[in-house]
Amino acid sequence: MNPTLVLIGVAVLLSLQSVWCVQEDPTHGKDHNPIHKEHYHDGAHDPHYDHEAILGDRQLEKEFDELEPEEAKRRLGVLAGEMDANKDGYVSRDELVQWIMNSFRKLDMEDSLEQFEESDENADNKVTWKEYLSRNHGFDINDFKDYTEEDAVSEFTKKLKVLEEDKKRFDAADLDKDGALKKDEFVAYLYPADFPHMHDVEMERTLQDHDKNKDGIITKEEFLADTDKNDKQLLLLEEERFTDFDKNRDGILDKKEIKDWVLPDNNEAAVEEAEHLIERSDSDKDGKLSIEEIVNNHEDFVGSQATNYGEFLPKDEL
């Protein structure tokens, strides 16, 4: 990259009050999972995954510890009534999936609000680009004042591309174009997979990074291009991931397959979790859960922990 052009780019970005950050490539990171834990560890089942998937709130899941089993069952019974959207006395597979999807969205929001509060340095209920990067990456624009031209060129040559791409995502999340993110915009910035208006910028980022010949698809070689070939275990893992994403086994990732890779939604995880809970609790094997079946298996759904349920429970039921 031409050093002069780099410095021009730096000046432009700095005039926009931008700072660089080191950011993990989202296309080779973790799949979107708001619970941020595995359902199984070395073959052992983690019940907390189930509890968070039902409650949609980590603090509520912890608070359940204080509740006696009978009270836990009573509250779960009320909660199960809320899951029963059509009020037929049963929680169907689809109703349970939708409930879990809603819990996942709540967990995403919980995480984003924590980061929002940390990033909103002047407490004005919005986060600017400068605030977010300065707070979360510990690097302020003023830190560049003592850089030599040579050092600035070196650093920004490495970081300018990442910065430009990340700023595009920030701008896409900024729906009202006021230069800052409100709480609902901030969650879209952190979790673009959940928001259709964020999809184009994420797809563009991935194709720019991996589609070397600009033909709109990603080959296996392009997918593995940034993988350390000397790390045989990692290479094998990435090859298996490519095979998983290549649904039609044609050796390439087309647009839909790329989207499934880059923007994984939580529907598949919600379906798996719903089927897991039904399998464990459906005593009469009719493919749906009665309120009684849910309450009788309360340890699978909420354990023995207390919660105030927040918006889930009507106040007069508590």
pLDDT at 89: 96
Shortest CA distance to 19 belongs to which of 139, 146, 176? 139
How many Å apart are CA 141 and CA 127, to the nearest integer? 16
Beta-carbon contacts of residue 117 (< 8 Å; ≥ 6 apart)? none
Q: Tokens 């039921």 — which residue?
A: 317
pLDDT at 166: 86
How many Å apart are CA 245 and CA 252, to the nearest integer? 9
C-alpha neighbours within 13 Å on the C-beta side of residue 306: 9
Cα R_g (the chain), whole angstroms: 23
pLDDT at 151: 72
pLDDT at 306: 40
Beta-carbon contacts of residue 7 (< 8 Å; ≥ 6 apart)? 149, 152, 153, 156
195 residue type, one letter: F
What is the token pair recorded at 292? 């009684």
What is the token pair recorded at 49? 């995954």
pLDDT at 41: 65
Phi and psi, residue 41, nearest 5°: -120, 110
Distance between start and end Cα atoms, the chain? 63
Q: DSSP strand E in 166-294: where?
A: 180-181, 218-219, 252-253, 289-290
Provide the 8-state DSSP code for 226. T
pLDDT at 266: 86
Tens-binned pLDDT, residue by residue, of the chain (318 aa):
454 545 545 554 444 444 444 443 333 334 566 665 667 766 677 888 899 999 999 888 887 777 888 988 999 999 999 999 999 999 999 999 999 999 999 999 999 999 999 999 999 999 999 898 877 655 555 666 677 777 766 666 656 777 788 889 999 999 999 999 999 999 999 999 989 999 999 999 999 989 999 999 999 999 999 899 999 999 999 999 999 999 999 999 999 999 999 998 888 889 999 999 999 999 999 999 999 999 999 999 997 644 334 444 443 444
